[in-house]
A and B are shown apart, each in its own frame.
Chain A
Amino acid sequence: MAPGVAEIQRGLAAGKFSSVEITQDYLARIAQHNPALNCFISVTDEIALEQARRADAALAKGQAAALTGVPLAHKDLFCTDGVKTSCASRILDNFIAPYDASVIENFKRDGAVMLGKTNMDEFAMGSSNENSCYGAVANPWNTECVPGGSSGGSAAAVAANLAPGATGTDTGGSIRQPAALCGITGIKPTYGRVSRYGMIAYGSSLDQGGPFARSAEDCALLLQTMSGFDRRDSTSAERAVPDFSGALGEGVEGLKIGLPQEYFADGLDGKIAAVIETAIDELRKLGAEVRDISLPNTDLSIPTYYVIAMAECSSNLSRFDGVRFGHRCDNPVDLEDLYKRSRGEGFGAEVKRRIMIGTYALSAGYYDAYYLKAQQLRRLIKEDFQKAFDSVDLILGPTTPETAFKIGAKSNDPVSMYLQDIYTISLNLAGLPGMSLPVGFVDGLPVGMQLIGNYFDETGLLNTAHSYQQVSDWHLQIPEAFR
């Protein structure tokens, strides 16, 4: 069994092992298994061991902070001062970030150890982690399958126990979907809960950072460190962060859970539906009240999401121009050549597609039909949720319509790839918190269940997931090859 974050904390506190020892263990596991999985872009051995040594010194002096000595991995779009931060893009292949993201600062403050930077879909654009200039990531449960995306490297690393926890970002499902496909737990908090400063932007009004771990208990610990108001992010929520761990164990007795009928409709694989039903029964047994609800605009969320995300990314990615950082083409003949070739060579096909659609959607004559329309639908989608939360405390459904698919199966059809996000993206449009936890297997591949909370109710999500995990052990499963 793999130790989780909480267990490592306890072990370090009790002196069962040192941070250096456990860090070395993980570095050895990464060295052994990463070639098969390709979930790390950079392994930062030296930094990790240095941080571990300092952690051990702090522990010895009784000066441990919240995560002192706990080794973690970070998605390669969080800027890390002095360490390559690539977004899995050729355009940033040579980019050594000159500063730390707020999330990274928070982990440093709390004493965590950085094992390395994880692979991802380029600029977080993708649902399979195949869009990486460093190659696809394999799913530890079946290395012929995708781990999901865009935070596929982080999810695969935790699933294969190459790290007890990892950070991810979620713009349309990029934490929840890979968590589901890799059989681990992941939470996307409310928009504004975790600072976006230093998190390289994809869709600014949708992006939100969050953790992956085996359990809700571990996610609570990591989210605690990641969360909090940041004056450097104008969209950061200026409100107190509750004690996530402290609220675990409150149980689900009397909790009103809504099942959106749209999430259990035609598109859902019947075997997945059956697994989810079983998990719902477990929650019923624990005292939760389950009822049907409706989110009528669910099927609008995909087109709405893609217009907004692509419009925002088309502008966000303009700064990658070969002038101040990143890839520059050889011997540009003039300015236009510098821009076009640097960007043309630097960005992969999916990134280019999204930039082009976004550019088109914002261009003269199309703004109202696309961007403005999408923002109107965005409000309708948000209102669906608000109405639902008048009668329920929590919404529950599948995280994905199918389990992990084969690498290459959808890579020639961008639209079928986008449809993987049907259950996850409406939360980003609404800004609501959501999490995925493992609830079983279909044909040897994990199934994720999604919990959706009201604004800033991460506590409700974590508590519900924790209650379920007290009576199940799906989250403790490790693929045989990585035990």
Chain B
Amino acid sequence: MSEWESVIGLEIHAQLATRSKIFSGASTAFGAAPNTQACAVDLGMPGVLPVLNREVVTMAIRFGVAIDAEIDHRSVFARKNYFYPDLPKGYQISQYELPIVGKGHIFISPAEGEHREIGITRAHLEEDAGKSIHDQFVDQTGIDLNRAGTPLLEIVSEPDMRSAKEAVAYARKIHSLVRYLEICDGNMQEGSFRCDANVSVRHKGEDKLGTRAELKNINSFRFLERAINFEIERQIDLIEDGGKVVQETRLYDSERDETRSMRSKEEANDYRYFPDPDLLPVAITEADIASIRAALPELPEQKKQRFIDALGLSDYNAELLTASRETATYFETALAAAPGQNAQLANWILGDLAGALNKAALDINASTITPEMLAQLVARIADNTISGKIAKEVFEAMWQGEGEADAIIEARGLRQITDSGAIESLIDAVIAANPEQVEQFRAGKEKVLGFFVGQVMQQSQGKANPGQVNAILREKLKS
């Protein structure tokens, strides 16, 4: 039997970062008391009508331009009809025919040096539903409609991904892009960025797609990878055991790390889409698109290329630094404060800083070490005030909140010893105290040099300039 291949497409719901809702003037702020941000329009009161938020249209077009998509001059809202208690009107205002963003594409790098193009079928605007709270009351479900009417951009990919890893790389790329574009805050915990995955399997070489399952309820990239991997395994096992995959919606349960069928959505849906008669077609002119294009910020791909070409960074580092807008901004701010320290800053940000942030589960914006502070640290290495090793100590102290590099260096007396007279006297003392090792070196045992360097550095409490120590030691030991 030939090898299995998995086929994955993602539907990403990005909550657009507007102040007010897509069709009403109610606030979109997260975390308010239940139903305090649900106005008459959001509640679907009899007689109310929707009016479209301009910013929502602009944001969607911004996304469309960034993925090089077709943007039609007419875009139409449709009603998707179904009954559910968190859907107040009994229909969701969405788009069916004529979505605002048509076919586009982006590039992902699932691994170092690997590049793949992923097609985006469409991106359409729609209103979010409210929330059903199942654990507040014994026999009742509570409905909070604060989220109802929050603008969403649903980004639908082609089934172009072949592994969970690729799917995650794609999701991260979209996540990064919407944040670059400042159209979505990307907060997955609060549900501002949600991924549904369509997963199917087939034998390699087959053209026909297998029956797919739609995975929902995935609120982190880690879970996305796990859920897809679980589902791929489940489908392969099922088919190999003689079973058949059924088209269904499955919920990912992160606690059990498994997907399970949503029985409540068993019934075949007939959404009865039709153009919403309360809303008119949105007219989009070439001039609208051009002005939005002109106002676009530098996009990750462009920035990455500039980091490689103009700053001489490696493809890999440039990719990592541009993976999020915040990281790129951090890097660029630091670089402005320490011009020329391109590689050094990149290494610190992607190495020690990333490690510390990761350990503390902090976002780079929440870092105690500001870009300016990191720039000062790197500058002190460059001007030989401290060694790279001492710099790690200073970094740690800065991380702990002890202040800026210069202050820490002063307070702890970490300034590097570069006075050759002082270094020579340290070396003389070490040589005098270790005649045996001196003999060994002179007999040709070169690696004893390391022992001497270590001793001198220890005596200097790490402050002696390692380059000078090396050079002077060699000279003195030879003589």
A325 near B272: Cβ-Cβ < 8 Å:
no
Q: Is A473 among interface residues, defined by CB-CB distance under 8 A?
A: no
A319 near B88: Cβ-Cβ < 8 Å:
yes
Within 8 A of A (CB), among B366-389: none
Residues of B within 8 A of A203 (CB): 277
Q: Is A229 among interface residues, defined by CB-CB distance under 8 A?
A: no
Of A55-63, A97-105, A210-218, A387-395, the segment with at least 4 beta carbons within 8 Å of chain B is A97-105
Q: Which residue of B lies closest to A230 (CB)?
A: B49
A318-B47 CB under 8 A given contacts A98-B40, A99-B40: no
Range, interface on chain B? 20 to 34
A363 near B272: Cβ-Cβ < 8 Å:
yes
A99 near B81: Cβ-Cβ < 8 Å:
no
Residues of A within 8 A of B273 (CB): 362, 367
Residues of B within 8 A of A98 (CB): 40, 45
Contact with B along A409-431 (1 / 0, CB 8 A): 00000000000000000000000
A318-B90 CB under 8 A given contacts A85-B46, A323-B85, A325-B46: yes
B48 near A371: Cβ-Cβ < 8 Å:
no
Q: Which residue of B lies closest to A312 (CB)?
A: B277
Question: Which of B90, B143, B279 has the largest number of chain A CB atoms within 10 A?
Answer: B90
B277 near A324: Cβ-Cβ < 8 Å:
no
Out of A77, A200, A234, A362, name the residue touching B280 (CB < 8 Å). Answer: A234
Question: Which of B46, B52, B91 has the largest number of chain A CB atoms within 10 A?
Answer: B46
Residues of A within 8 A of B79 (CB): 315
Compute how far the CA of A336 lies from the CA of B81 in the bound complex, rounded to whole angstroms. 16
B272 near A315: Cβ-Cβ < 8 Å:
yes
Out of A204, A323, A339, name the residue touching B277 (CB < 8 Å). Answer: A204
Q: Which residue of B lies closest to A311 (CB)?
A: B274
Residues of B within 8 A of A234 (CB): 49-52, 278-280
Contact with A along B7-34 (1 / 0, CB 8 A): 0000000000000000000000000000
> How far in angstroms is the closest Cβ of chain B from A100?
10
Q: Is B466 among interface residues, defined by CB-CB distance under 8 A?
A: no
Q: Is B4 among interface residues, defined by CB-CB distance under 8 A?
A: no
B90 near A321: Cβ-Cβ < 8 Å:
yes
B88 near A324: Cβ-Cβ < 8 Å:
yes
A318 near B280: Cβ-Cβ < 8 Å:
no
Q: Is A240 among interface residues, defined by CB-CB distance under 8 A?
A: no
B90 near A196: Cβ-Cβ < 8 Å:
no
Q: Is B43 among interface residues, defined by CB-CB distance under 8 A?
A: yes
> How far in angstroms is the closest Cβ of chain A from B305?
43
Compute how far the CA of A319 lies from the CA of B48 in the bound complex, rounded to whole angstroms. 11
Residues of A within 8 A of B85 (CB): 321, 323, 335
A319 near B44: Cβ-Cβ < 8 Å:
yes
Question: Which of A77, A97, A200, A323 has the largest number of chain B CB atoms within 10 A?
Answer: A323
Q: Which residue of B lies closest to A367 (CB)?
A: B274
Out of B43, B81, B278, name the residue touching A318 (CB < 8 Å). Answer: B81
Q: Is B162 among interface residues, defined by CB-CB distance under 8 A?
A: no
Q: Is B89 among interface residues, defined by CB-CB distance under 8 A?
A: yes
Residues of A within 8 A of B51 (CB): 231-234
Contact with A along B81-101 (1 / 0, CB 8 A): 101010011110000000000
Contact with B along A87-116 (1 / 0, CB 8 A): 100001001011101000000000000000
Compute how far the CA of A233 lies from the CA of B41 in the bound complex, rounded to whole angstroms. 11
Q: Which residue of B lies closest to A91 (CB)?
A: B46
Contact with B along A167-206 (1 / 0, CB 8 A): 0000000000000000000000000000011111101110
Compute how far the CA of A461 lies from the CA of B330 in the bound complex, rounded to whole angstroms. 68
B52 near A364: Cβ-Cβ < 8 Å:
no
Q: Is A359 among interface residues, defined by CB-CB distance under 8 A?
A: yes
A321 near B274: Cβ-Cβ < 8 Å:
no
Compute how far the CA of A168 lies from the CA of B88 in the bound complex, rounded to whole angstroms. 27
Q: Is A235 among interface residues, defined by CB-CB distance under 8 A?
A: yes
Q: Is A79 among interface residues, defined by CB-CB distance under 8 A?
A: yes
Contact with B along A316-356 (1 / 0, CB 8 A): 00111101110000000001000100000000000000000
Compute how far the CA of A335 lies from the CA of B85 in the bound complex, rounded to whole angstroms. 8
Residues of A within 8 A of B83 (CB): 318, 321, 339
Residues of B within 8 A of A371 (CB): 274
B272 near A359: Cβ-Cβ < 8 Å:
yes
Within 8 A of A (CB), among B256-306: 270, 272-274, 277-280
Within 8 A of A (CB), among B140-179: 143
Residues of B within 8 A of A197 (CB): 47-49
A199-B47 CB under 8 A given contacts A323-B143, A335-B85: yes
Compute how far the CA of A196 lies from the CA of B89 in the bound complex, rounded to whole angstroms. 17
B46 near A95: Cβ-Cβ < 8 Å:
yes
Residues of B within 8 A of A199 (CB): 47
A233 near B49: Cβ-Cβ < 8 Å:
yes
Within 8 A of A (CB), among B47-63: 47-52
16 interchain pairs, CB-CB under 8 A: A85-B46, A98-B45, A99-B45, A196-B49, A198-B48, A201-B278, A203-B277, A234-B51, A234-B52, A312-B277, A314-B272, A319-B44, A319-B89, A319-B90, A321-B83, A339-B83
Task: List B residues at the A interface (Cβ < 8 Å).
Answer: 40, 43-52, 79, 81, 83, 85, 88-91, 143, 270, 272-274, 277-280
> Other CB < 8 Å A-B pairs besides A234-B51, A319-B46, A324-B44, 14 of them?
A79-B46, A85-B46, A198-B48, A232-B49, A234-B52, A235-B278, A311-B274, A318-B83, A319-B89, A319-B90, A321-B90, A325-B46, A367-B272, A367-B274
Task: List A residues at the B interface (Cβ < 8 Å).
Answer: 77-79, 85, 87, 92, 95, 97-99, 101, 196-201, 203-205, 231-235, 311-312, 314-315, 318-321, 323-325, 335, 339, 359, 362-364, 367, 371
3 tightest A-B CB contacts, nearest first = A318-B90, A362-B272, A204-B277
